[in-house]
Homo-oligomer: A and B are copies of this chain.
Amino acid sequence: MPDPGSPLGIFDSGVGGLTVFRRVAERLPGESIVYLGDTARVPYGTKSAETVVRYARACARLLIERDIKILVVACNTATAYALDVLRDELGIPVLGVIEPGARRAVAATRNGRIGVVGTVGTIASGAYQSVLTSLAPDMHVACKPCPLFVPLAEEGWVSGPVPRQIAETYLAGLLSEGIDTLLLGCTHYPLLREVIQEVAGPGVAIVDSAEATSEVVADILDGMGMCDAAHGLKQYHCLVTDSPAAFARVGQHFLGRDVGTVEWVDFQ
């Protein structure tokens, strides 16, 4: 049984998972967090299952060495391809972002028609489709990969005619299918939430997996009696496999504040 005083571990292919970090830190302000961004291999969303599993295993191993008490796979693609493998292999609770987001979408829909947007890898994996269908077999699920959303978010190009037209192009098919709920199946997409909401219109509820995931993390820690009751020496620490400076610069937009100390690590 891990020590309640141990930190939470979160990993993602890059900076995107900091939107999950942010929500978890808001929901659990007494907990220490170690975040790993595999920035030397980012993105995972365009890569194959085999490669993503290999990288996810390496990320998890590295965080286990940091003595974490729970692992959050904040990358949708890694969750889609590697969650089961990691659950089998690790001796601590492992949580992905797909099921929490899917549960919240099912709770939010009124007409039973849910749209999912994500990277090519996440959508191609079919993970959201199969979780949504297992939760609610009659649900109509429409999916659309949106490869330009990630570079737009990373550039900070999140308003104006270009993001708007790109969102219109990507969302047109989903909207024509009459969805009333849109699940943001990629950790970068919350940065484009405003333009996505504008294009989708007020009748569509936007569901952010990061927010939903932070609730489930809290539930698990509560349920296992693993919350850090001491509330003493809370620490945030970021690890990256590429340049710490670039991560700190882009990361602050995702975390909503300075990312603090960033340490370079490697696995080969």
Binding site for B on A (CB under 8 A): 39-42, 46-48, 50-51, 147-148, 150-152, 154-155, 157, 161-162, 165-166, 169, 241-243, 246, 268
Contact = CB atoms under 8 A, between A and B. Distances in A.
Given A39-B47, A48-B243, A48-B246, A154 B147 contact: yes
Nearest to A268: B268
A166 to B, nearest CB: 6
6 contacts: A40-B51, A47-B243, A48-B243, A148-B148, A162-B162, A165-B165
A57 to B, nearest CB: 12
A30 B47 CA distance: 34
Given A147-B154, A150-B151, A162-B166, 11 more contacts: A40-B51, A41-B41, A42-B46, A46-B246, A50-B243, A148-B148, A148-B151, A148-B155, A162-B162, A165-B165, A268-B268
Contacts of A155: 147-148
A47 B51 contact: no
A254 to B, nearest CB: 15
Contacts of A47: 39-40, 242-243
Contacts of A246: 46, 48
A155 B165 CA distance: 16
Contacts of A268: 268
A243 B120 CA distance: 13
